Amino acid sequence: MLHVGLHHFLVLGALLFSLGVLTVATRRNAVGVLMGVELILNGANVNFVAFNHWVTGGISGQVFALFVIVLAAAEAAVGLAIVLALFQTFRSIDVRTADTMRE
């Protein structure tokens, strides 16, 4: 069972994903939330590549993972821009302060 196969990578991916979700859900710092998002995307990437290696062959999975990286970068940029805007509005990067949409 210790010989590494697809399943190990899938479990790893699941763990990464879960930890990423945990980070997003529990962090108060807005930047921390973005870090969580990166973790999620990485988890997904790991899955993609693993499947590419063991199931589909070719390079489709890798291409897809590349696209994910591109978009992750773009999204990180925009995300940080939003954090700046958030700071400008609320003078704090605690996500809990941005709750004017409550009730």
Partner 1 sequence: MEHAHALGPILTARAGYLWLIPLFPLVGAFINFVFGWRFERSGRKRLVHVVGVGAMALAFAVAVCAFLQLRALPDEHRFLQDTLWNMFTAGRVTVDLGFALDPLSMMMVLIITFIGMLIHVFSIGYMWDDEAKAYWRFFGWLNLFVFSMLLLVMGDNFVLMFFGWEGVGLCSYGLISFYYTDREKAAAGMKAFVVNRFGDFGFLAGLLLLFWGLGGAWAASGKAHGPTYEPEAALHATAGASTAAESQALAPTVEVGEGQVVKVGPTLNFRELRDQVVIEKTGIAEHLKDQKVWGFALLALIGICLFVGAMGKSAQLPLYVWLPDAMAGPTPVSALIHAATMVTAGVYMVARLNFIFALSPAAMAWVAFVGALTAIFAASIGFFQYDIKKVLAYSTVSQLGFMFIGVGVGAYWAGAYHLLTHAFFKATLFLGSGSVILGCHHEQDMRKMGGLKKYMPITRWTYLIACWAIAGFPWASGFYSKDEILWKAFTSEHLALFGVPTPWLGPAIYLVGIIAATGTSFYMFRSYFMTFTGEYRGGAGHAHEHGEDPHASVAAAHHADPHGHHDAHPQPDPAHGHVHAAHGAFPHVGAAAHDAHGAHGGHGAHGGLPHESPWTITLVLSVLAAGAVLVSLLGIPAAWTGHEPLLEEWLKPALTAEVAFAEKPHSWEFLFQAIGVGAGAVGFLFAWLLYKDGKSTVPAALKERFLGIWTVVYNKYYVDELYDLVVIRPSLAWSRALSWFDGHILDWLVNAVGAVTRGFARIDGLIDTYVVDGAVNAVAVLTAEGGKSLRRLQTGRVQTYLYGALAGGLAVILLNFLIH
Partner 2 sequence: MSRKLYTWIALAALVTLFVGVLGVQVGRGGALPADFEVGPFTLRDGLFYFFAALTVVGAGMTALSRNILYSALGLLGALTGAGGLYAWLDADFLAVTQLLVYIGGVLVLILFAVMLTNRITEVKVSNVSLGVAGGVALLVSTVPVLCFVALATPWAIREPEALGPTTRAIGNAFLSQWLLPFELASLVLLATLIGAVVIARKELKADEPDPSLG
- Residues numbered 16-55 forming contacts with partner 2, rule: CB under 8 A: 16-23, 25-29, 31-32, 34-36, 38-39, 42, 45-46, 49-55
Q: How far is the CB of 17 from partner 1 (least distance, A)?
A: 11
| Residue 7 exposed, middle or buried by CB count within 10 Å (0-12, 13-18, 19+) | exposed
Task: Return d(Cα 48, Cα 90) in angstroms, integer.
Answer: 39
37 binds, among partner 1, partner 2, none (CB under 5 to 8 A by kind): none
Q: Is 98 in the site for partner 2 (CB under 8 A)?
A: no
Backbone angles phi, psi at 28, to 5 degrees: -95, -25
